[in-house]
Structures are given as structure tokens and as C-alpha cells.
Amino acid sequence: MNPALNPTPLADETAASTLPLLRVNQLTRLFGHEKGCQDISFDLYPGEVLGLVGESGSGKSTLLSLLSGRTPPDRGSVQYRADHANWLDIYEAGEARRRQLLRTEWGFVEQNPRDGLRMSVSAGANIGERLMAQGARHYGQLRETAIHWLQQVEIDASRVDDPPRAFSGGMQQRLQIARNLVSKPRLVFMDEPTGGLDVSVQARILDLLRSLVRELDLAVILVTHDLAVARLLADRLLVMRRSRVVESGLTDQILDDPQHPYTQLLVSSVLQA
Amino acid sequence: MTNMTTETRFAQSGRESMENTAAEGYNFAYLDEQTKRMIRRGLLKAVAIPGFQVPFGGREMPLPYGWGTGGMQVTAAILAPEDILKVIDQGADDTTNAVSIRAFFERTARVATTTRSGEATIIQTRHRIPETPLKRDQMMVFQVPIPEPLRFIEPSETETATLHALGDYGVMHVKLYEDIVAHGHIATCYAYPVEVNDRYMMDPSPIPRFDNPKLHMSPALMLFGAGREKRLYALPPYTRVVSIDFEDYPFEAQRQDGVCAICGSANTYLDELIVDDRGTRHYVCSDTDYCQEHAGQQGIRA
């Protein structure tokens, strides 16, 4: 983020937004030769959307689970700025703290909503679960919050008591997004959030995500193999191939003027509609 | 309702007939001493960490899982020759399961048995805590079918163990939330989850939630045994036990619609009986011993 773009910044706001939210250093986890990811380093800033693109098996999802505290790395570190200037190394912090982060300041949107939702309980309970885990003990307020978030993701409030299995695929994905955003996270991980959906539903979810990201000033790390999704949502891209980042930069710059031969291949292989 | 014997019955009386039959060749209270020791070690740990589930090497018992094998192993492990045992099933002393388990210990341990809650030193139960207040020198033994209160929402054992370790119990309220969504009130009426000693979430076995308040600060030691799942847990005397709830839907023990048709009690847990084919309902105390005693006090013959 360039502070010069903001004409009248408050002194401490500038300081906060110029500090990264996440610092990733030499992150490595290998399951075999060039299987997994290695030597990944980058900084993520508040409100920034970072896309991870690359072919199947290039290590995108491995990297995402390392970043989100789900799989410990072989080496390297992930540091998260929990508050103003205190850095937290998420793999030194212990499981209790990691889990607490994942259900408060972080969110994780799975590709398949069935993995991220509790399919047997109502939509309202799905949205309220994070709040209950944080100690919310007032049914009326939980239900009101659930209805508010259903409306935020464009699901009719009357569906609050229906189980997610009664929802269409696109609605399930939107419900999963609401379930994650209810705790007002600062950082959301998304693994192919529009992966299994048809094109018109994809467009609607992308539109929704784009406005929510702006509105809530979310930082997002987004895994996708779809360059159109990356173009629409991501500010910056990391292109992965065979466990390494081969190119990184601003999205438009990478997509319009790819430098690495693999990125050139990737961009040129997109069908022009 | 049958006319039940209420006097304490000593197995001594039936000794001649049993001397050379069932108990022959068996150790005191059926299990061997090393097994009983192992169970007692588990129980000591369970008492030291109230509400925590301790695994134990459950043995095969001569009756099927689900019929009280966990409770029987606990009873066998703590039973002493001078103990007086009471066994209830659904509050009654005269149901098949209660009669069988009582007879089992009469034959294998030759301990005295009773139907009087006040006289028993050990009370083995499946569904109820007696209406008569428990005392300091008594022990309750519960037969537990599913010891894990988080199981309904989390099928993985490693995951539930982690949730317990981290005290991560948010999902418990999801269940209550769903109850209110579906029924307009918290409809869980048995195995109602409790938080023990401000730490562990515990399944109080399938007692009605009517009995939950009796767990809190009970002067009696309460031991729980799950035979199929091979888990022990315990509530030491005078432990804080809180039934979880919502601020706007507070925990409430069930209220009964009627009074006992036999003894007239209005403050006990009642069984509903349909007594004719026009659907006429009667209510009777589920605790048969309390009912008889209460009826006797009022000169009613139960």
C-alpha cells in the first residue's frame, strides 16, 4: 500500500497499514521431490487480496494449509501481527492459540462447502457457531446476527432455520462465507471458493466477495487455478510451479506482461471468450 | 404395581442354595483382583480430575453391552463384603435389569442388597438418581451408554480429545441452539450436558434433566462407567456441576403435569401410564422406593 495515495492519513493509521499483517519466511514443506512447496517468502498487508495461481499439483493448497496453521512446515515461519506491533509465530504459539485465531481473526472458506459447514444443523447455528465458541450465550442475539449475515450474503432471512443440505451449491458457498465473516476476521483464506459452481453462480459469488472484501477491509489469500477469478479479485499474484514461486507481482502486470515462460504459457492458455 | 419387599435382604439367607452353584470358582464380585485394581486406579484418576474421561481395560461381562457392563465393573471394583447394594433401572428396583444385576452381586459377592435408598452404601443406576437425598457415605454408580458429550457433533475421537484438552466447547451450544430452532425451547430431556468444576464438559448418562440439579454439590461420590466405550469418569463429593444453557433460555428441570397416583407426590419425577383404551393417563413416581416410603408415611398401602 502506498501511503501517498491516501491524502490525509492519521499518523498511527499509516503506521498500522504500512506494517504487514502476515510475514512468511522461507516456508517449506515437501512430500517428495518438488511435491509440496518450498522457499516461499512474502508479506501480506491489511486489506490486500493475494492470489495463488498455478497448475494442479504445484503446491497451492499445501501452501494455504501451511499459512493457515493447519499443517506444520518442515522449516520456515509464518508470523501474524495479532495487534498493533506484536508478532506471533503461529507454529510456536501452540495449538490452542492457533485454533482461537482460526475461529476469530481468521476465516477459511473451503472449496467444497460440505467441508466448511455443519450440514446437519441449521444455517443460523452454522453462522452462530463461532460466536458461541467465543462465549455468546444469548439465543435471540445469535439469531438476529445470523439473519443479518444471511442478508449480507443475499440469502433470504426466512431460510435461517433450514439446514444447508436444503440449499443450492451457490447458497451453501455463500453460507460458508457468512459463517466465516461473522467473527469479523482480518484475514480470510479461500481455497477455490468458486471451484465447483456453474458460471452464473460463480459470477454472483465473485461479485459478492469483491464487495465484502472492500467493505470489511479484509486481507485474503486466495487459491485459484482460474485466472479470470484472480484478475477480478486479487491485487497481487504469486505464480507457483513445481513447489516454487516462479513469478510474483501486481495482478494486471503479471497477466498482461508475464515474464516467466511458465506464466506466459499459463496466460496464453486461457481461452478468449 | 407389585407388592415389593422393602426390608434389607441379606444374601446370607439364600446361601445354602447358592453355596455350590453360581459363585463357585469365581472371585469375590466376579472380576479378578488385578482387574479390580486396574479399575480402581482408573477411578482414582477420574476422581482427581472431575469430569475427565479415563480409559480403562474393560472386561467382558456375562451379559451384553448396553445392559450395564460398565456400571457393573465399577461396582465390582469398589464393592466390599460389608457393603449394602441397591440397583435401580428407570428408578425401579423390580425391573428385569435391576433384578438381574442385584442377583448377580448377591451370588458372586454375597453382599447384602436393599431397595431402600437410605440404607444402601452403593447404588447402581442407569436412568435415575433417587429422590431421597444422598448422604456422604453413599456412592452412586452410573451405567453409561455414550460417555462423550461431543460425539453427536464430532465423530472423531482424536478431535473430541483435543476439544476437551483445549476446553473448546462452543459446539455444545450449537446443539442447544438447534433444539430451540426445532422446538422453541431446549428439548434435550436426558443426558443433558453439564460443565464440571468449571472445566470439563460431561455427559451425565441418560438421567432425565430433572435429576441434573442433584449432581451439583452432591455429598455422595458419583462414579460413571461405560462398558462398550471403556471409559470411567467421576464427580467427587461437593463438585460444582452446571447444566449449560442460554441467557434467554435458562436451564430448567422438567416440570410435571400431575401428581403421583399412588403416593400423591407433586415434586418427584413421574412416569406416565395409559390405563385404559380411551387414553386416560395416570402418573406414578418413577422412584419406586421413594413412592412406597411416601405412601407409607401417609398411611396409603402401595
Determine the distance in angstroms separating the CA of A134 from the nearest CA of chain B, rounded to an integer: 7
pLDDT > 90? residue B56: yes
> Where exactly are the structural domains of chain A?
3-97+117-272
Tell me, what's the pLDDT at B2?
Answer: 41
Question: Which H or E element spans position A125?
Answer: helix A123-133
- Residue A69 sits at the chain B interface (C-beta within 8 Å): no
Contact B178 A142 (CB under 8 A): no
Q: Please state the rounded mean pLDDT for residues B158-162.
A: 93
Say what the pLDDT of residue B3 is: 41
Q: Nearest C-alpha of chain B: how many angstroms from A26?
A: 29
Residue A100 reports pLDDT greater than 80:
yes
What value does the mean pLDDT take over residues B253-259? 84
d(CA B142, CA B144): 6
Q: How far apart are the first and last CA of chain B?
A: 8
List the single range of A3-17, A106-120, B78-92, B193-207 with lowest mean pLDDT: A3-17
- Owner of C-alpha cell 517428495: A32
Q: In chain B, which residue's Cα lies nearest the Cα of A136? A: B246
pLDDT category, A271, cuts 50, 70, 90? low
Which of B181, B183, B242 is the best substitution to test chain A (most A C-beta atoms within 10 A)? B181
pLDDT value, residue A96 = 87
Query: Nearest Cβ partner of A139 from B153, B170, B246?
Result: B246
Please determine, for residue B66, whether its predicted confidence score (pLDDT) is greater than 80.
yes
Residues A108-124 have a mean pLDDT of 93
Which of A127, A132, A161 to mutate against chain B (most B CBs within 10 Å)?
A132
Q: Is the pLDDT of residue A125 over 50?
A: yes
- What residue of A is the nearest CA neighbor of B168? A133
Residues 155-174 of A with CB under 8 A from B: 161
Q: How many CB atoms lie within 10 A of CB B267?
A: 10
Contact indicator for B175, B188 with CB cutoff of 8 Å: yes
Q: Count the neighbouring beta carbons within 10 Å of the beta carbon of residue B212.
A: 22
State yes or no: pLDDT of A227 exceeds 50. Answer: yes
Q: How far is it, in rounded angstroms, from Cα B202 to Cα B30?
A: 29
**Residue A17 pLDDT class (50, 70, 90 cuts):** low
Please report, for residues A59, B7, B27, B123, the alpha-carbon distance to residue B83 in angstroms, rounded to integers and kept in the order given: 66, 16, 16, 10
Class of the domain covering A3-97+117-272 = alpha beta
Lowest mean pLDDT across A6-15, A112-121, A162-171, B262-271: A6-15
Q: Please tell me if residue B94 touches chain A, with a CB cutoff of 8 Å.
A: no
With b meaning 16 or more CB within 10 Å and e meaning fewer, what string describes B16-46? eebeeeebeeeebbbbeeebbebbeebbebb
- Measured between CA atoms, the residue of chain A closest to residue B173 is A132
Is the confidence at residue B17, as pLDDT, over 60?
Answer: no
Using left for φ > 0, alpha for ψ between -120 and 50, and beta otherwise, residue A211 falls in alpha
Shortest distance between the Cα of A139 and any Cα of chain B, in A, equals 6
Mention every residue, 6+ apart, whose C-beta is less than 8 A from residue A108. Answer: A68, A102, A116, A180, A188, A189, A190, A191
Interface A:B, Cβ pairs < 8 A? 55
Q: Is the pLDDT of residue A16 over 60?
A: no
The C-alpha cell of A18 is what? 504500512
Query: What's the rounded Cα separation, in Å, for the pair B209 and B290?
Result: 19
Residue A9 has pLDDT above 60, yes or no: no
Grouping H, G, I as helix, E, B as strand and the rest as coil, residue B153 is coil
B177 Cβ under 8 Å from any chain A Cβ = yes
Please tell me the distance in Å from A68's CA to the nearest CA on chain B.
18
Mean pLDDT of all residues belonging to chain A: 88
With CA atoms as reference, the chain A residue closest to B165 would be A96
Please give the Cα distance from B132 to B289 (Å, whole number).
9
Active-site annotation holder among B51, B58, B71, B91 = B51
Q: Is the Cβ of A119 closer than 8 Å to some Cβ of chain B? A: no
- What pLDDT score does B49 carry? 98
Is residue B154's pLDDT more than 90?
no
Burial of residue A135 (CB within 10 Å: 0-12, 13-18, 19+) is exposed
- Please say if the pLDDT value at position B21 is more than 70: no
For the cut 80, the answer to whether the pLDDT of residue A116 exceeds it is yes
Locus of grid cell 400431575: B258
Is residue B163 within 8 A of residue B154, CB to CB? The reply is yes
Strands (E), chain A: 22-32, 35-44, 49-54, 75-81, 87-89, 106-109, 187-191, 219-223, 236-241, 244-250
- CB neighbour list of residue B43: distance below 8 Å, 6 or more residues apart: B54, B74, B77, B78, B223, B232, B234
Residue A15 has pLDDT above 70, yes or no: no
Mean pLDDT of A238-267: 93
- Kindly write down the DSSP assignment for every residue of B217-246, as one continuous string: T-SSEEEEEETTTTEEEEE-TT--EEE---
Average pLDDT, integer, range B225-239: 97
In the prediction, which pLDDT does B5 show?
43
- Kindly state the average pLDDT of the residues A259-268: 90
Q: Does B189 participate in catalysis according to the annotation?
A: no
**pLDDT of res. B239:** 97
| ipTM of the prediction greater than 0.90, yes or no | no
Q: What is the pLDDT averaged over residues B204-208?
A: 91
Q: Tell me whether residues A140 and B162 touch, CB distance under 8 A.
A: no
pLDDT at B114 over 50: yes
- The predicted-structure confidence for B115-128, as pLDDT tens digits, reads as follows 999 999 999 999 99
Per CB-CB distance under 8 Å, the chain A contacts of B177 are 121-122, 124-125, 128, 132, 139, 142
Q: Please state, in angstroms and as integers, the Cα–Cα distance from residue A60 to each residue in A52, A244, B250, following that order.
A: 6, 10, 47
pLDDT value for B135? 96
Give the helix ranges, DSSP H, for A39-121.
Answer: 60-67, 95-103, 113-116
Taken in order B176, B177, B178, B181, the sign of the CA dihedral is positive
